[in-house]
Amino acid sequence: MVPTTSDESSAPYGTGPQPASGRVSAGRPPARVRIHHLAAAKERGEHFAMLTAYDQYAAQIFDEAGIEVLLVGDSAANNVFGYETSLPVTVDDLLPLCRAVARSARRALVVADLPFGSYETSPAQGVESGVRFLKEGLAHAVKMEGGAFYADTVRAMVQAGIPVMAHIGFTPQSEHALGGYRVQGRGDDAARLIEDAKALEAAGAFCILMEMVPAETAAAVEAAVSVPTIGIGAGASTTGQVLVWQDMAGLRGGEGTRIAKFVKQYADLRGTLLDAARRYGDDVRSGAFPGPEHSF
Ligand code: KIV
């Protein structure tokens, strides 16, 4: 699923409409992925991919690879800032990362995560935080954790012009309340997730993300709503899939690291970097680097 062509409503920033030939003309940036493209993917029975990104190079590479959605996740807490949970990061922490990603992605839809403490107290607080991410972070949409309880907040944000992706199932910001990393929506609890998804869709969410939900429950949610769903540890029935990029590319690892069952590693970046850094260190210590070709 891609916006291979661009019409008025999907034209990329500053370039105007592109040809309807199915190709992007040379010299022009490709069409920006918009929320309606994600909806169209569901209608056509297609899938799309989302990855987290927190900086310029990751954003550029994933964008060039055709990843449709980039999430500046609050998982930056664990993957950038070195915290154990996502709870400590703030809007002010995430805004510069979001700007870097948004400035670097020419095509992907950039979604910013509302961190813990930035929307819980009132719909007005959600609107305020969402506005900051669109205005100061240059994001195109925000994601927020929580079920039907937050429907009023989602509604207020959508009314303010902020596209909202809702995140249900296991919600890491509630890790302490949920008693740790636990699969949600098993057995009778599936009905709760379906109700959450319906309430969030009715409130205007353009997409429902489900984390650590049995495949069967996720399939029922995907069938119960007309907006696309995205899964992480939610089986194969969702319209989209998301992974944290350091998990996907094998950057996270080392002693004692637990890799979740739902992660598929497509590279061993940790091994590659470890090897490069070791060889660089050895060369410096032995005097092999820099050579004459590196000197002025
Ligand atoms: O912050 C994040 O990376 C997320 C994904 C796990 C969906 O919310």
- Tell me the CATH number at 131: 3.20.20.60
pLDDT reported for residue 76: 98
CA distances (Å), 35 to each of 46, 163, 219, 228, in order? 14, 8, 21, 10
pLDDT band of 25, cuts 50, 70, 90: very low
Asked if residue 274 is part of any domain, the answer here is no
Asked if residue 210 is part of any domain, the answer here is yes
Asked if residue 287 is part of any domain, the answer here is no
pLDDT at 17 over 60: no
Ligand 1 site: residues with CB under 6 angstroms? 52, 71, 73-75, 113, 167, 209, 211, 232, 242, 244
> pLDDT higher for 259 or 226?
226
Average pLDDT over residues 85-97: 98
pLDDT reported for residue 102: 98
Q: Which domain holds residue 261?
A: 35-265
pLDDT band of 13, cuts 50, 70, 90: very low
What is the domain count for the chain? 1
Ligand 1 atom 4, closest CA: 73
pLDDT band of 28, cuts 50, 70, 90: low
Distance between CA atoms of residues 113 and 143, nearest Å: 5
Q: Which amino acid is at 21?
A: S
211 is catalytic: yes
Asked if residue 153 is part of any domain, the answer here is yes
pLDDT band of 257, cuts 50, 70, 90: confident
Asked if residue 21 is part of any domain, the answer here is no
Distance from Cα 125 to the centre of ligand 1, integer Å:
21
Asked if residue 61 is part of any domain, the answer here is yes
Asked if residue 26 is part of any domain, the answer here is no
pLDDT band of 1, cuts 50, 70, 90: low
Long-range CB pairs of 25-32 (<8 Å, 24+ gap) are: 29/106, 29/107, 30/3, 30/106, 30/107, 31/3, 31/4, 31/5, 31/6, 31/107, 32/3, 32/106, 32/107, 32/109, 32/140
pTM, 2 dp = 0.92
Average pLDDT over residues 20-41: 71
Has 43 been labeled as part of a binding site? no
What are the two backbone dihedrals, phi and then psi, of residue 260, each rounded to the nearest 5 degrees? -65, 150
Which ligand 1 atom lies nearest to the CA of residue 230? 7
Distance from Cα 74 to the centre of ligand 1, integer Å:
7
pLDDT reported for residue 258: 87
pLDDT band of 255, cuts 50, 70, 90: confident
Has 74 been labeled as part of a binding site? yes
pLDDT band of 253, cuts 50, 70, 90: confident
pLDDT at 57 over 50: yes
pLDDT at 93 over 70: yes
Residue whose tokens read 């900086």: 55
pLDDT at 279 over 80: yes
Asked if residue 110 is part of any domain, the answer here is yes
